[in-house]
Structure 1
Amino acid sequence: MEAVFLGINDAGEQIYNWLNQQEDVEVKALLTEKDQLGLIKELEPEIVISAGFEHKVPEEIIEIPEKGVVNVHPSLLPYNRGSYPYMWPLLDGTPAGVSIHYMAEGIDEGPIIDQMEVPVKPEDTAKDLYERLKSESVLLFKEAWPEIKKGVKGRSQDLSTGQTHYRNELDDVAEIDLDEKVRAGDLIDRLRALSFPPHENGFFEVNGQKYFVEIDITPETELQNSEDL
């Protein structure tokens, strides 16, 4: 089976390398830019696989591969379609997870092939949750691959549930108002969501100067274990 791969994020790199080791698929191209999508028209692959492609794929491209465009998305769809899906569960308490789905015209709205929920821990930052979602995405794709090859139909999403987030929404939560009255737990959750080193996301401003902040949370059990060593 001939394939084209779109991406590539950290999970996508692992999936791409794994696919290249499989005897049942030949990856003809790796595309990372929107202006490369025309190559799909030329190659006419049987399937397209996406993990970390940062551009919207037009419907005329989605319709080309016989077995569709399969996308790996690090959220429990229909929750947190779109950008920064590892951040929003920390901010608003929506469930976290990973989903493999077919692309449709709407952002992350296509039928779900497989998915799994990933627990959110009290000490998680966005970076912690991202790393766990990345690992589970790779495992879930490998498990689903036999069904994907068969052309499994997938199940429709309930689009009346969940939400779509866009890149500019990070700007709305990144700046912390030092005069704002806020519940302590909400501030901690916001800092957790903004902590993704080495990126400097959360900040406050004094006299025109930005000061960047992040949070590090350590469970008591980890401290006790380190003391026992």
Structure 2
Amino acid sequence: MSDDIEIVFLGVNDAGMRVYEWLCDREETVVHSLLTTRSQLSLVADVEPEYLISCGYRHIVPEQILEIPSENCLNLHPAYLPHNRGANPNVWSIVDGTPAGVTLHEMDETLDTGAIVGRRTVETSFADTGKDLYQRLEDAQVALFQDMWSDIVSGKVSSTTQSRSEGTYHDTSDFESLCEIQPDETVQAKEFLDRLRALTFPPYDNAHIEVGDEQYRVELNIERVSD
């Protein structure tokens, strides 16, 4: 009987691809599939892996699929849970002033609420844009997973249940509302700068305002003044 660790991987973004490739390069692991759509989840039942690993996957995995792996189902989320469950955690860390970080957690039938296996904070600066923080969070997700993997497969990690009444959650409609700047809204300077830099993510046009009959896109650049 093979001693290989059998895995099905769910992912689509850069961090997910980096974790996927890292697992594929390891001698003791067999990664059977890279799934990116909901319709592909039936393949988990065909493989019956020991682990289901997710990073950047955009769909909630049904409970009947989560019950199949014999060891665990783990997801990497670019937020310091329970803060910033859901979409665009890099943006909301800046806008809400919540801790920025990454979390490896067990998957359950809802979004980003499973027991926490490991997490770490990520340093931020007032000069960060949403893109700056996003890239830093991607690097931190990969590092967290690589650092924890040997302890995961050897059974040396424990999990901590999340309280669903604590933390924060945002969906894509919250992000869309954040992008719409109203010409007559009253703002505090620091909060408004946080909002604009959080939405700055070139080449994407996020923040926008309509003045008269014209639509404008808004980005922000902040530079630290050297001593």
Q: C-alpha offsets along residues 122-153 of structure 1, whole Å, 9 cap, x if unaligned?
A: 10111000011111111110001012213444
Q: C-alpha offsets along residues 71-99 of structure 1, whole Å, 9 cap, x if unaligned?
A: 01000001001110111011010111000
How far off its partner does 1:119 sit? 2.0
Q: Does the alignment pair 1:187 with 2:221?
A: no
1:120-131 equivalence runs, <5 A = 120-131=124-135
**Which amino acid is 1:136 matched to?**
A
> Match for residue 168 of structure 1?
173
Query: Is contact 2:117-2:158 (8 Å) kept?
Result: yes
Q: Does the alignment pair 1:205 with 2:210?
A: yes
For 2:184 and 2:160, the matched residues in 1 are separated by: 47
RMSD over aligned CA atoms reads 1.2
> Match for residue 75 of structure 1?
79
Q: C-alpha offsets along residues 21-70 of structure 1, whole Å, 9 cap, x if unaligned?
A: 10111000000001000110111111011000001111111111012211
SS in 2 for 1:199: coil
For 1:44 and 1:63, the matched residues in 2 are separated by: 10
> Match for residue 31 of structure 1?
35
Using structure 1 for the length normalisation, give the TM-score. Answer: 0.94
| Consecutive aligned runs of 4 or more in structure 1 exceeding 6 Å deviation | none
SS in 1 for 2:165: coil
1:43-62 equivalence runs, <5 A = 43-62=47-66
Q: Does the alignment pair 1:217 with 2:222?
A: yes
How far off its partner does 1:168 sit? 1.5
> Match for residue 139 of structure 1?
143
- Unpaired segments ≥5 residues, structure 2: none
Identity over the aligned pairs, expressed in percent?
45
> Match for residue 99 of structure 2?
95
SS in 2 for 1:172: helix
**Which amino acid is 1:188 matched to?**
L
1:103-114 equivalence runs, <5 A = 103-114=107-118
Aligned residue among 136, 157, 161 for 2:162: 157
How far off its partner does 1:165 sit? 1.3
SS in 1 for 2:114: coil
How far off its partner does 1:10 sit? 1.1
**Which amino acid is 1:220 matched to?**
V
Number of equivalenced pairs: 222
Using structure 2 for the length normalisation, give the TM-score. Answer: 0.94
**Which amino acid is 1:206 matched to?**
V
For 2:76 and 2:110, the matched residues in 1 are separated by: 15
**Which amino acid is 2:110 matched to?**
G
